[in-house]
């Protein structure tokens, strides 16, 4: 019997199916992002329109029908309220129609746990980087402990904002990486405080440089500076806590340069390093299904009529089975 997971915290509507930790399906549809960024009401309309299509696609990819599904999970948060609502309603429909238990999942826990599961590492130091989040964490006492994090915006947000200011299309981090190829280093503000870091000063300085320097040089320098900050703080957390491995996850984990820098740092300390296939770094339903299955197997009490979302669902407050 399988578990279905629904992810809808931002512009992706994802549906995954998992059975005993094995991923049988991971289907998604993504709202096309315009230059104006994400308008939550528009995205939630898109999710509502496509929810049943993505669920059908996932069932067909897993070669099963709804009769084979024994539980459902959904993203409770963090994320955009109107988008989270649609995922919760889709999961609620399955829960009521099929009479199966329903589990609320923390989005960040899901990114980390699916990566940890695929890595096979027992207790890694985690660098979780996405649009809205940039955190260094490890598991302690049944929940994730945040060792360090951004004190302002997420690194993904910084890259997207810069891409927009520089007139790149599409305006997101992977485009900055393309422009960065062949750039030369120019000095930019580097801010690490213990294991915390900030990105708005770096973003402002990079945008100010745009009229006088080449886009390639500024893209390259901003990326090198931001990623060095993340790697320095991760290295400190890794060594202070005596972990034997590092994992990288979240949307910005798709960056080849960040992977390279973390792999080099890990190898220099003889620590193992893992980053998952990009389908799990981007938002996806399989990670929600995986955690929901773990919650079910661990005897977590499923929800009844108390279904909620939480746009600011902090990872420390989410129990990890
Ligand atoms: Fe995410």
**Measured between alpha carbons, how far is 94 from 101 in angstroms, rounded to an integer?**
9
**Measured between alpha carbons, how far is 138 from 100 in angstroms, rounded to an integer?**
32
pLDDT tops 70 at residue 312: yes
pLDDT tops 80 at residue 303: yes
Report yes or no: 53 and 29 within 8 Å, Cβ to Cβ: yes
CA dihedral sign, ordered 225, 201, 249, 113: positive
- Give me ligand 1 centre to Cα 106, in Å: 10
- Give me ligand 1 centre to Cα 9, in Å: 8
Distance in Å from the first CA to the final CA of the chain? 20
Question: Quick one: pLDDT band at residue 35, thresholds 50, 70, 90?
Answer: low
- Give me ligand 1 centre to Cα 45, in Å: 20
| Cβ density class 262-271: b for 16+ within 10 Å, e for less | bbebbeeeeb
- Give me ligand 1 centre to Cα 259, in Å: 17
- Give the C-alpha distances (Å, rounded to integers) separating 187 from 156, 207, 286: 21, 13, 41
CA atoms in the 13 A half-sphere facing the CB of 215: 12
For range 208-227, the mean pLDDT: 97
pLDDT at 38: 78
The share of the chain scoring above pLDDT 90, in percent, equals 93
pTM over 0.85: yes
- Give me ligand 1 centre to Cα 286, in Å: 12
- Give me ligand 1 centre to Cα 130, in Å: 6
- Give me ligand 1 centre to Cα 69, in Å: 24
**Measured between alpha carbons, how far is 92 from 95 in angstroms, rounded to an integer?**
5
- Give me ligand 1 centre to Cα 22, in Å: 20
- The token duo for 90 is 């889709």
Distance of CA 260 to the CA centre of its chain: 19
Question: Quick one: pLDDT band at residue 304, thresholds 50, 70, 90?
Answer: confident
pLDDT tops 80 at residue 178: yes
- Give me ligand 1 centre to Cα 187, in Å: 31
């Amino acid at each position: 019997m399988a578990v279905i997971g629904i992810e809808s915290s931002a512009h992706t509507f994802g549906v995954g199916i998992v059975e005993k930790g094995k991923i049988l399906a991971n289907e998604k549809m993504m709202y096309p992002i315009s230059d104006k960024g994400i308008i939550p009401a528009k995205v939630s309309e898109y999710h509502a329109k496509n929810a049943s299509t993505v669920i059908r696609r996932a069932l067909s990819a897993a070669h099963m029908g709804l009769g084979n599904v024994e539980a459902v999970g959904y993203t409770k948060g963090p994320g955009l309220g109107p988008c989270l609502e649609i995922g919760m309603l889709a999961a609620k429909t399955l829960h009521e129609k099929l009479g199966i238990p329903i589990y609320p999942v923390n989005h960040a826990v899901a990114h980390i746990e699916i990566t940890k599961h695929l890595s096979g590492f027992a207790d890694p130091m985690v660098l979780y980087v996405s649009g809205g989040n940039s955190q260094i964490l490890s598991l302690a006492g049944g929940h994730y402990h945040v060792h360090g994090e951004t004190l302002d915006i997420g690194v993904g947000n910084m890259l997207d904002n810069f891409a927009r200011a520089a007139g790149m299309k599409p305006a997101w981090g992977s485009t900055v990486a393309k422009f960065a190829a062949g750039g030369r280093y120019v000095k930019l503000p580097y801010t690490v405080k213990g294991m915390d870091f900030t990105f708005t000063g770096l973003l402002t300085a990079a945008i100010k440089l745009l009229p006088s320097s080449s886009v390639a040089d500024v893209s390259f320098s901003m990326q090198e500076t931001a990623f060095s900050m993340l790697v320095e703080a991760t290295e400190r957390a890794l060594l202070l806590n005596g972990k034997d491995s590092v994992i990288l996850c979240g949307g910005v984990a798709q960056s080849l340069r960040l992977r390279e820098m973390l792999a080099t740092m890990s190898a220099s300390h003889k620590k193992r390093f893992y980053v998952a296939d990009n389908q799990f770094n981007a938002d996806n339903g399989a990670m929600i299904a995986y955690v929901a299955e773990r919650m079910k197997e661990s005897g977590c009490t499923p929800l009844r009529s108390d279904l909620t979302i939480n746009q600011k669902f902090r990872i420390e407050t989410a129990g990890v089975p």
